Amino acid sequence: MNLIAVGLNYRTAPIELRERLAVPEGRLPEALARLKNWPRVTEGVILSTCNRVELYAVVKETELGSASLGEFMTTMASEVAAEQILPRLYYLEGQEAIRHLFRVAASLDSMIVGEPQILGQVKDAFEAALAHKSTGVVLNKVMKKAISVGKRVRSETGIAEHAVSVSYAAVELARKIFQNLSEQAVLLVGVGEMGKLAARHLIDAGVRQMMITNRNLDRAIDLAKRFNALPIPFHEFHHEMAGADIVVCATGADAYVIGPEDVQRALRSRGNRPMFLIDIGDPRNIDPAVGALDNAYLYNIDDLQGQVVMNLEQRRHEALRAEDIVGEEVPPLVRWMKTLDVVPTIMALRRKAEEIQRAEVERTLARLGPVSPRQRQLVESLAAAITNKLLHAPLVAIKAEADSPNGTLYAEIAQRLFNLEKELEAELPAEAGEELESPQQPLFRQEEESP
Amino acid sequence: MNVVFFKVTLLLYFLGTILFLTQLAGRSEGVVRVSFASAGIGFFFHTLALVSRMIEAGHIPLTTMHEALSFFSWALVLVFLVVELRYRTHILGSFILPLAFISLISAAALPTEIKALEPILRNVWMHVTLSLLGTVAFAVAFVAGLMYLIQEHLLKSKHLNVLYHKLPPLDFLDELNGRAILLGFPLLTLGIITGALFAEFARGSFLNWNAEQIGALGTWLFYLVVLLGRVTVGWRAKKAAYLTVVGFAGVIFTLVGVIVKGPHPLA
């Protein structure tokens, strides 16, 4: 039994291919059902986002299982030839698959390291798989652990702190001037792409009102409709500026559109309440002298970009700490998975012992003739005590060795020594795994010794 | 018993001050919790100290300078705890707790014995309480103003460091500043009125132009101007922050003058 991961992401495949392979939410149930019944797969989870399509599965044999999963990937987009998909896939197994999943959940494998969505997407993928019963003991545990690692990384490192895009950096700055953006009004001067993007972020941040002005008023009106904003004629906007707490200036003008005297006037009529001015025009739209005015905070595109670069640098630094956390969390899970490998042997050995025990007890009781309940109980206890005591040491050894370099060697020896082939065929892995979830629980039933 | 509680408080405030100051340096979720805990537990012991002193003295312990400073420190920490629980602006502690600690250690340096209450001073606690609460409000305004000036400087110089991330938004600080003065001014006014009435009652004159009274009136006038300026001509934001920082320096100056000069004219 082994955990494998097969998939492609933004590093290995172009967006067109990723889009085709992506499983929309509506088709996820069908895909999960297919994966569950796919040859060699015993458990499976599908993680599909715009940056990656990955399958996590539990298989009996790693190599055959990986090939089988690769084949499954080629069936996910019927119109794409297998030759286009197969070379772009990466195959991971065991420890590496676990590490990869943890890094994905921690947003260390993301295009923008630290971006917050991926953890939610991992959660959703797991929940969908749970709902469609395509997971079992192994993936349940692995996925839960991955989610908790993702959370731990977010709370213990600064990987997701601070803006890494210019627009978001502007919003972050606005939040350090105004505690409550929902009470602030924004004036957007110009309808250029960068300005629109910044305005969109401010709207998402919940600003109270948006005013839009442009030399060509029609375009301001168009955009105002889309943003649910108020269009303002260009020649009037200097007067409206007093009502704006945040001014985003992004015109293609060659000269300054806003000068210090404009801002001074606006500040006076708004009782010196601070103003945040963002100049994302190229060349500059706002006279830098504005930045020297009290209560006016002027940031231009270079300032914001500088901020982004610094934040990215910090994220990289925090990512190293996140990697350490992932490194800490992988080995315990790997150990748990190794003990899982010997569970069938342990179960089989136990079952065989119990069968022999039961048969011998019945035979002895039949020979004894009529016995009192007390006597019957004594005979049963005797038999149970002998098998349990005899099996205790080998069972503990098999489990302990699973985590050593010997691996399943001892389990295999036990299979030979006790001739367990028949019992192994009747194994029930799911049930066995559940038992191992709690390490305190004994591996075989310890019946009470009779007094 | 009150002395033991007082010493424990002093120790905890010292610890809290150190911890809160280390918070200024870097990210520190663990430190935040410990420093908040030491302030909270310190406040608990401080309350015990004040209550037990009241029981031991048999009157409200606000008649000596030691008692006044201790109460001032207690009220500061109370304000911090309330604001912290409400707004989670941890960094406020980095400014208020040192202030509370300085006030408390000054109290410790002054004569600590409980004085028998002269009958004439039976009602002086009202004047002292009101004046001190007013001063606490001005201290909060001072801290808010100081934080404002730091944050404003960081924003202007585009030096967006750890401190920038920890300091609250400008308008929050400005609001805190404004509210503190709005609350502090009437308290100080009432403190001065009760003081004058008390002086009339005890000494037969409302005013005798001693340094303390001049200082108090000067302070009152100053904050009156600051308050009116905010309401009428928009003295808010940076200007208000400057004025309250400078104004509080005047308050401290007066206070130190009173301490150095000797006992309160009435005590």
The answer on pLDDT for B115 being more than 80 is no
Mind telling me how many Å the CA of B110 is from chain A's nearest CA?
A: 42
Query: Closest chain B residue to A245 measured between Cα atoms?
Result: B171
The answer on pLDDT for A65 being more than 80 is yes
Residue B234 backbone class (left: φ over 0; alpha: ψ -120 to 50; beta: rest): left
Q: Does A310 touch chain B (CB under 8 A)?
A: yes
User: Which of A82-86, A221-225, A250-254, B24-28 is predicted least confidently?
Assistant: B24-28
Contact B236 A271 (CB under 8 A): yes
**Residue A87 structure tokens:** 């070379």
The answer on pLDDT for A164 being more than 60 is yes
Give chain A positions within 8 Å (CB) of B231. none
Give the number of residues written for chain A: 451
| Average pLDDT of chain A, as a whole number | 87
Architecture of domain A166-303: 3-Layer(aba) Sandwich (3.40)
Q: How far is CA A272 from CA A182, A188, A278, A418, in A?
A: 20, 21, 18, 88
- Superfamily (CATH) of domain A2-157: Glutamyl-tRNA reductase, N-terminal domain (3.30.460.30)
The answer on pLDDT for B144 being more than 50 is yes
Query: Closest chain A residue to B165 measured between Cα atoms?
Result: A176
Give chain A positions within 8 Å (CB) of B167. 176
Give chain B positions within 8 Å (CB) of A179. 168-169, 171-172
Show me where the domains of chain B are located. Answer: 1-117, 118-267
Q: Give the pLDDT band (50/70/90) at residue A429.
A: very low
φ and ψ at B130, to 5 degrees? Answer: -60, -45
Contact B237 A294 (CB under 8 A): yes
Q: Rounded to whole angstroms, how far apart are CA atoms A258 and A389?
A: 89
- Residue from B89, B154, B155, B233 to probe the interface with A (highest A Cβ count within 10 Å): B155
The residues facing A232 across adjacent strands are A213
Contact A176 B170 (CB under 8 A): yes
pTM above 0.80, yes or no: no
| Average pLDDT of chain B, as a whole number | 85
Query: Do residues A291 and A298 lie in contact, with contact meaning Cβ atoms separated by under 8 Å?
Result: yes
Query: Closest chain B residue to A306 measured between Cα atoms?
Result: B158
Q: Rounded to whole angstroms, how far apart are CA atoms A321 and A21?
A: 33
Contact A297 B235 (CB under 8 A): no
Q: Rounded to whole angstroms, how far apart are CA atoms B89 and B83?
A: 8
Question: What pLDDT sits at residue A430?
Answer: 44
Place of tokens 């401290």: B252
CA neighbor of A17 nearest in space, from A57, A46, A45, A52: A52
Span B212-223, average pLDDT:
84
CA neighbor of B166 nearest in space, from B92, B100, B98: B92
Contact B237 A272 (CB under 8 A): yes
CA neighbor of A316 nearest in space, from A11, A108, A9, A103: A108
Strands A2-9 and A90-93, by their bridges, are antiparallel
CA neighbor of B74 nearest in space, from B145, B142, B139, B15: B139
Mind telling me how many Å the CA of A175 is from chain B's nearest CA?
A: 6
In angstroms, how far apart are the furthest CA atoms of chain A? Answer: 114
What residues of A are labeled active site? 50
Question: What pLDDT sits at residue A450?
Answer: 35
Q: Does A309 touch chain B (CB under 8 A)?
A: no
3-state secondary structure B22-71: HHCCCCCHHHHHHHHHHHHHHHHHHHHHHHHHHHHHCCCCCCCHHHHHHH
Percent of chain A exceeding pLDDT 70 equals 94
Query: Do residues A227 and A199 lie in contact, with contact meaning Cβ atoms separated by under 8 Å?
Result: yes
CB nearest to A307's CB, from B160, B235, B239: B160
Contact B151 A271 (CB under 8 A): no
The answer on pLDDT for A134 being more than 70 is yes
Query: Do residues A316 and A234 lie in contact, with contact meaning Cβ atoms separated by under 8 Å?
Result: no
**B125 burial level (CB within 10 Å; 0-12, 13-18, 19+):** buried
Q: Does A90 touch chain B (CB under 8 A)?
A: no
CB nearest to A274's CB, from B27, B164, B171: B171
Show me where the domains of chain A are located. Answer: 2-157, 166-303, 333-437
Question: What pLDDT sits at residue A444?
Answer: 41
Mind telling me how many Å the CA of A176 is from chain B's nearest CA?
A: 4
Q: A157 by DSSP, 3-state: which?
A: coil
The answer on pLDDT for A59 being more than 70 is yes
Contact B169 A177 (CB under 8 A): yes
The type of residue at A166 is V
Query: Do residues A5 and A97 lie in contact, with contact meaning Cβ atoms separated by under 8 Å?
Result: yes
The answer on pLDDT for B118 being more than 80 is no
Contact A294 B239 (CB under 8 A): yes
Question: What pLDDT sits at residue A35?
Answer: 93
**B155 burial level (CB within 10 Å; 0-12, 13-18, 19+):** buried
Query: Closest chain B residue to A304 measured between Cα atoms?
Result: B158
φ and ψ at A224, to 5 degrees? Answer: -60, -35
Question: Which residues fall within 8 angstroms of residue A258, CB to CB, at 6 or more apart?
Answer: A189, A238, A241, A247, A249, A277, A285, A286, A287, A290
Question: What pLDDT sits at residue A167?
Answer: 86
Torsion, Cα A11 A17 A23 A25, to 10 degrees, reads 90
Give chain B positions within 8 Å (CB) of A299. 158
- Residue from B29, B170, B231, B243 to probe the interface with A (highest A Cβ count within 10 Å): B170
Q: How far is CA A365 from CA A384, A389, A449, in A?
A: 14, 22, 19
Contact A178 B151 (CB under 8 A): no
CB nearest to A297's CB, from B155, B164, B165: B155
Contact A158 B155 (CB under 8 A): no
Query: Cis (ω within 30 of 0) for the bond into B111?
Result: no
CB nearest to A158's CB, from B27, B237, B239: B27
Q: Rounded to whole angstroms, how far apart are CA atoms A243 and A442?
A: 72
The answer on pLDDT for A224 being more than 50 is yes
CA neighbor of A227 nearest in space, from A238, A237, A213, A216: A213
The answer on pLDDT for A437 being more than 60 is no
Question: What pLDDT sits at residue A28?
Answer: 92
Strands A2-9 and A246-249, by their bridges, are unpaired
Question: What pLDDT sits at residue B259?
Answer: 66
Q: Does A178 touch chain B (CB under 8 A)?
A: yes
Q: What is the DSSP string of B179-240?
A: HHHHHHHHHHHHHHHHHHHHHHHHHS-S----HHHHHHHHHHHHHHHHHHHHHHH---HHHH
Q: Rounded to whole angstroms, how far apart are CA atoms B223 and B217?
A: 10
Q: Mark out chain B residues that contact chain A at CB-CB < 8 A.
A: 27, 151, 155-156, 158, 160, 164-165, 167-172, 234-239
Query: Closest chain A residue to B240 measured between Cα atoms?
Result: A272
Q: How far is CA B65 from CA A6, A75, B102, B107, in A?
A: 76, 85, 14, 7
CB nearest to B238's CB, from A178, A294, A307: A294
Span A407-436, average pLDDT:
70
- Residue from B87, B88, B162, B171 to probe the interface with A (highest A Cβ count within 10 Å): B171
Question: What pLDDT sits at residue B198?
Answer: 81
User: Which of A75-79, B22-26, B75-79, B99-103 is predicted least confidently?
Assistant: B22-26
Place of tokens 């029609």: A218
Q: Rounded to whole angstroms, how far apart are CA atoms B91 and B259?
A: 30
The answer on pLDDT for B261 being more than 80 is no
Q: Does A394 touch chain B (CB under 8 A)?
A: no
Query: Do residues A134 and A45 lie in contact, with contact meaning Cβ atoms separated by under 8 Å?
Result: yes
